[in-house]
Each structure stands twice: as structure tokens, then as C-alpha cells.
């Protein structure tokens, strides 16, 4: 099975190094020296990693045969693809490969269906599930233990306990405003809604 493990960014320096956007939880395994990676577009590869190092929090790679800035810049936006055993699992029991999480049903703890995972977005601060709902809309679920309380690969589902507003923010805000209008305390309600929103984004 082939999985995208990184995307090549801009050239770094003049000796052929490139920055990479890592898309794997095991960069030391997938992006170590000697690793041979397929590419998208295919015409750019395969590429063999010669060296790797971390600089200012970013992973820098140099590939065999790429010796100058022009060669490195020509690889920009190329996807790096590793061959992975579909039955393999990460060493950490709390980690998962992207392909294991794709298409899982997302439900609340009470069994309410939320949608289906269609994409895993890897951000510098955290990973996000892109969940498609029955009506075709999408919702982003942070993959953190406070929200994703259980991953059951056998039952093909992810159980979540979202904070108010994460799943249906507009509905939450509307109901909060209605409650405030009834109590005559609109200002506090607005503050609560904004605070919930900001907390969800963080």
C-alpha cells in the first residue's frame, strides 16, 4: 500500500536541501537516510534520501543526485510516497496510520451519527479529522484525546465527545442567544458563545 509521507517545500540553501511538510507520525522511519520514495508526479522520482536534519523546527532533506538550489527548487510541491504494509501498525498503541482512520464512522458517545472521516489533515499544532456529514457538509474534529475518546478499528468507528459548538456551532450560538433573550442577559450569552468558539479553534 502506498501512502503520502511528506510534501517537498522550498529549497534551503544552495547545496540541494529542501524543507518538507511531514505527513507521517514516523518520520525517522519513513524519511530516514537511504529511504527510497516514489513521487507524485511520478516523473520526479523515485528519490533516495541522502541526508536529513532538523533546522529551526523543520525537517530538511537532501536527495541523491540533487546538488544545487535549482535542482531542489524543481522538486517543490512534489509528494513523497512510501510503500507501507497495510497490516502494519505503529509501535505506539495510541497512534494510527492515516489509512486506518479513513472512512471510519464518527459517532457521539450516545450513538448519534456525526459523519464519516474522509481526510486527515496534519497541521503543525495538531491533526484534524475532516468529517463529511450526511448532508454533504464537512466538520473538522481535532484528533486529541479530550475529544476523540475511542478509536475502534474492528467496529470501524471513532467515538467523540465534542465541546459545545464544535459540531453545530450556529445551532449552539442560536440556542444560546434564545436563552439569553428569555433571561434578558444577552451580553453574557454573546461572551459565552465567542469563548466556546475560540476554545474549539484552539
Rounded Cα–Cα distance for residues 64 and 106 (Å): 43
Q: Which spans in the chain are helix H?
A: 27-30, 69-73, 98-101, 169-183, 186-201
At 200, give phi and psi (nearest 5°): -65, -40
Provide the sign of the torsion angle of the four alpha carbons 133, 137, 142, 143, taken in this order: positive
Question: How is residue 171 written as a grid cell?
Answer: 445551532
Over the stretch 33-80, which tens digit does the pLDDT of each residue have? 999 999 999 999 899 999 999 888 888 999 999 999 999 999 999 999
Residue 200 has pLDDT above 70, yes or no: no
DSSP state of 125: S
Instruction: Report residue 166: phi and psi, to 5°.
Output: -70, -40
Local structure of 38: helix, strand or coil: strand
Q: Which residue has the higher pLDDT, 145 or 126?
A: 145
- Predicted local confidence at residue 89, as pLDDT: 65
151: helix, strand or coil: strand
User: By the 8 A CB rule, do 6 and 52 touch?
Assistant: no
- Mean pLDDT over residues 20-45, rounded? 86
Mean pLDDT over the full length of the chain = 79
CB 186 within 8 A of CB 178: no
pLDDT in tens, 70-116: 999 999 999 999 887 666 666 666 677 777 888 999 999 999 999 99
Amino acid at each position: 500500500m502506498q501512502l503520502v509521507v511528506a510534501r517537498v517545500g522550498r529549497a534551503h540553501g544552495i547545496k540541494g536541501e529542501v524543507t518538507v511538510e511531514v505527513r507521517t507520525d514516523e518520520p525517522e522511519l519513513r524519511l530516514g537516510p537511504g529511504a527510497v520514495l516514489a513521487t507524485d508526479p511520478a516523473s520526479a522520482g523515485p528519490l533516495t534520501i541522502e541526508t536529513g536534519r532538523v533546522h529551526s523546527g523543520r525537517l530538511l532533506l537532501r536527495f541523491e543526485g540533487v546538488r544545487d538550489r535549482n535542482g531542489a527548487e524543481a522538486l517543490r510541491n512534489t509528494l513523497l510516497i512510501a510503500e507501507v504494509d497495510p497490516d502494519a501498525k505503529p509501535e505506539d498503541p495510541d497512534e494510527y496510520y492515516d489509512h486506518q482512520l479513513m472512512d471510519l464512522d464518527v459517532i457521539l458517545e450516545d450513538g448519534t451519527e456525526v459523519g464519516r472521516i474522509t481526510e486527515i489533515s496534519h497541521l503543525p499544532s495538531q491533526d484534524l479529522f475532516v468529517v463529511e456529514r450526511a448532508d454533504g457538509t464537512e466538520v473538522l474534529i481535532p484528533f486529541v484525546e479530550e475529544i476523540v475518546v475511542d478509536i475502534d478499528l474492528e467496529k470501524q468507528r471513532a467515538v467523540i465527545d465534542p465541546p459545545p459548538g464544535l459540531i453545530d456551532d450556529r445551532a449552539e450560538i442560536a440556542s444560546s442567544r434564545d436563552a439569553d433573550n428569555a433571561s434578558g442577559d444577552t451580553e453574557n450569552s454573546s461572551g459565552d458563545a465567542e469563548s466556546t468558539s475560540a476554545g474549539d479553534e484552539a
